Amino acid sequence: MKEISHSDANRPCHIAIIMDGNGRWAQQRDLPRVEGHRAGVASVRKVTEECARLKIEQLTLYCLSSENWKRPQQEIDFLMHLLEQYMIEERPTIMENNIRVRMIGRRTDIPEQVLKELDQTVEMSSTNTGMWLNLAINYGARAELVDAVQAIGKKLVAGALDVDAIDEEAISDHLYTAGLADPDLLVRTAGEMRISNFLLWQISYAEIWVTEKCWPDFDEETLQQAIRDFAGRNRKFGGLRT
């Protein structure tokens, strides 16, 4: 595996990943869908540790979309169990790698016990100084924009904000990701060519990289492949190629 230099100025500072294909991975092996989710946790650990080792500044993982609640209750219950278990079992890894954890998404509908463990991990890692691990849980980009517009509207009504002050920065400051840099690289697994309501505002200029691998098969080598591909692209941001 070709090693990526820590000093490589062309590597992404913020990687966002749509972790897709857990169920498909399980079905291909004649296993229950939940086994795909269980195997996916191992990939989360590998990728998180590798990003921390490479000194990536931010990693955002699409853990549970606001649309995923439509799935069978048994699967939802298992996902909540996995999330709670992850929050507890990964604390040593998070602390050893100096990772800061943050949740983005709506807290509604998430079981109280899961939120308790999540909040504890967030609090415990708050004094760390390394990579941000942003967990998108019960997240939907359209819901995020609705929440931002409502928050801005309340400030307008209260006289705390002038309508002429509403610009791109003001909108960004009212998103779940306020204070975090936008993603440079968006990765999607399982070969799907869609965004799935993920970070619609934030990925406006992100480079997109898709792999046919299902998420449980995504490993450190695949991550480095995505980063190398990113490094070879010419990001113009609307300007001329140099």
Specify whether the CB–CB gap between 32 and 203 falls below 8 A.
Answer: no
Per-residue confidence (pLDDT) for residue 242, from 0 to 100: 53
CATH number of the domain that residue 127 is part of? 3.40.1180.10
At 225 the pLDDT is: 97
Is residue 153, in this structure, part of any structural domain at all?
Answer: no
In a domain, 164, yes or no: no
Contact between 124 and 95 under an 8 Å Cβ cutoff? The reply is: yes
Q: What is the pLDDT of residue 10?
A: 83
Backbone angles phi, psi at 171, to 5 degrees: -65, -45
Whether 158 is covered by a domain: the verdict is: no
CA nearest neighbour of 51 among 234, 219, 241, 182:
219
Residue 55 included in any domain: yes
- Contact between residue 197 and residue 67 where contact means Cβ atoms under 8 Å apart: yes
| Residue 34 resides in a domain | yes
Per-residue pLDDT 10s for the chain (242 aa) are 445 554 456 899 999 999 999 999 999 999 999 999 999 999 999 999 999 999 999 999 999 999 888 888 999 999 999 999 999 999 999 999 999 999 999 999 999 999 999 999 999 999 999 999 999 999 999 999 999 999 999 999 999 999 999 999 999 999 999 999 999 999 999 999 999 999 999 999 999 999 999 999 999 999 999 999 999 998 766 665 55
pLDDT of amino acid 205: 95
Q: Per the domain annotation, does 20 fall within a domain?
A: yes
Tell me which residue range forms the domain holding 73.
14-140+182-231
**In this structure, are residues 140 and 121 in contact, taking their beta carbons and an 8 Å threshold?**
no
How confident is the model at residue 241, as a pLDDT? 58
Report which of 43, 137, 133 is spatially closest to residue 91, judged by C-alpha positions.
133
* pTM value > 0.85: yes
- Cα separations in angstroms, 110 against 52, 59, 103, 177: 27, 22, 12, 19
> How is 168-185 classified by DSSP, letter by letter?
HHHHHTTSTTTTSPPPSE
Residue 7 in any domain: the answer is no
Catalytic residues: 20, 68
Contact 91, 50 (CB under 8 A): no
Residue 3: its pLDDT value, please? 54
CA–CA gap between residue 44 and residue 216 (Å, rounded): 9
What is the number of domains present in the chain? 1
Residue 206 lies in a domain: yes
